[in-house]
Amino acid sequence: MAKDITTRLNDYSQWYNDLVIKGNLADHSSVRGCMVIKPYGYAIWEKMRDALDKMFKDTGHVNAYFPLFIPKSFLSKEASHIEGFAKECAVVTHYRLINDPNGKGVIVDPTAKLEEELIIRPTSETIIWNTYKTWIQSYRDLPLLINQWANVVRWEMRTRLFLRTAEFLWQEGHTAHATEKEAVEETEKMLHVYAEFAEKWMAMPVILGRKTANERFAGAVETYCIEAMMQDGQALQAGTSHFLGQNFAKAFDVQFLNKEGKQELVYATSWGVSTRLIGALIMAHSDDDGLIIPPKLAPLHVVIVPIYKTADDLNKLYEKVKPLIEQLKAKNISVKFDDDETKRPGFKFAEYELRGVPVRLAMGMRDYESGTVEVARRDTKEKSVQQFEGIGNYIETLLDDIQTNIYNKAKAFRDSNIREVNTWEEFQDTIENKPGFISAHWDGTAETEEKIKELTKATIRCIPLNNQQQEGKCVYSGKPSKERVIFARAY
């Protein structure tokens, strides 16, 4: 199979698209900006969701489900929320179709107009805090630790599969607390949950940090984020966790009776990650032959390709590997024996490389006779001949090695592409010629931040947590600064 994948060097953006489409992860749909998540892509999302869901539950959260629709008036209740938030939303204005009197299909019934328009949720703070109002009366009702898995819609003008689509899937946690301290702790706790997921499951190193005021979520007092580096050196925000203070409690009048019998406003957090993570996963690890998926998120771990001429040979090979298949399944390692007769082994090899299956076994009659098997790992493309005896345990260890290796490779790449920059010339040269993150001093003003963005397209990705405090001068204005921040161009 000629996979026809554009190389990264040639056109990184087209390479990404090729992987998504040819790797069977997603497809464009007939609806502008909306994607179809295909079974192979959805299987990755299911693995992500299950792992995250367990982490949320282990930290005391429960799931619930809130309406898809938000009354238009709710959006303007929290002033900075609507001010800062994109107003590109899908708006429902009618609730009925009728047959076209001209006999051509259906038309919208003009008499079925809603009194108040409904917005498809772009995020659910407003509808949820309007509900929390009825759920929270006393300190005994707190904390409220709720998460929702849902679809949301933002009418993006320029869309890219997984990275930016009009509709996407996500989870949004919305918690309510009696004290500011507790809410801030929750915000930070969930940021660390995201970081752990990114590093341990996605094998993707991230920088934990705070956003500048400019980049904060609309309505948040503080926005925390994890930032990852893609192979082209650009940043991708992989998750955010917001401390919302009492802003939404004020807007929706959510008060509780504290232990001293006094009414107080509730403190809020919200935090979310989305199907965008699939885009991050692809861009962080894959190569010009196709996807590289860390074993912990791979829908299929092992493929066994038999190489044979006769049905009798195929039978022999199958009987030989059958106990291995059982053994792997018992270890929760998914495995496929590909005996499709219509495709040649070479074609299959290329196909499973494209799909990023971590381990490929090939066994021909010579292996059969000598008790060996060929093992190819997807991440390094190394092949080796192994004794078939004990291969189950070998594969189990190999999958762990692959997971670690993918992470280490991404981390080495990331670390070698964060550059400390101290002058404006150096900054301009670096951003143009050395893809990656720039660590530089900044004077803390929105003006400088915006000017740098305007001149270089680089934004402040975050102010790293536990940042080293050091006196310095702003790389642009020369004004005094106390710490370095991370600049990059971003997805």
Positions that interact with its own copies (CB under 8 A) = 27, 29-31, 34-39, 42-43, 45-46, 62-76, 82, 87-98, 104-106, 108-109, 117-120, 127, 130-131, 134, 140, 146, 150-151, 153, 155, 167, 169, 342
Q: What angle do helix axes 276-285 and 12-22 make, rounded to 10 degrees?
A: 120
Residue 423 CB, nearest approach to its own copies (Å): 42
Query: Residue 267 CA to chain centroid, in angstroms?
Result: 27
In this structure, are residues 243 and 187 in contact, taking their beta carbons and an 8 Å threshold? yes
What is the phi/psi pair of residue 127, to 5°?
A: -65, -35
What torsion, rounded to 10 degrees, do the Cα atoms 199, 202, 206, 210 define? -100
Select 151 or 408, whichever has its Cβ closest to its own copies.
Answer: 151
What torsion, rounded to 10 degrees, do the Cα atoms 111, 115, 117, 118 define? -100
Select 135 or 381, whichever has its Cβ closest to its own copies.
Answer: 135
Q: Could you identify the residue written with the tokens 């010579």?
A: 366
In this structure, are residues 241 and 271 in contact, taking their beta carbons and an 8 Å threshold? yes
Residue 42 CB, nearest approach to its own copies (Å): 5
Structure token digits, residue 297 = 């998120």
In this structure, are residues 139 and 178 in contact, taking their beta carbons and an 8 Å threshold? yes
Select 42 or 248, whichever has its Cβ closest to its own copies.
Answer: 42
- Spatial separation of the C-alpha atoms in residues 19 and 7, rounded to whole Å: 10
Residue 122 CB, nearest approach to its own copies (Å): 10
Residue 114 CB, nearest approach to its own copies (Å): 9
Cβ-proximal residues to 215 (8 Å cutoff; 6+ apart), any chain: 223, 459, 460
Select 117 or 483, whichever has its Cβ closest to its own copies.
Answer: 117
Select 168 or 476, whichever has its Cβ closest to its own copies.
Answer: 168
Select 260 or 471, whichever has its Cβ closest to its own copies.
Answer: 260
Residue 368 CB, nearest approach to its own copies (Å): 28
- Spatial separation of the C-alpha atoms in residues 178 and 268, rounded to whole Å: 9
Residue 189 CB, nearest approach to its own copies (Å): 19
Select 299 or 358, whichever has its Cβ closest to its own copies.
Answer: 299
Residue 490 CB, nearest approach to its own copies (Å): 24
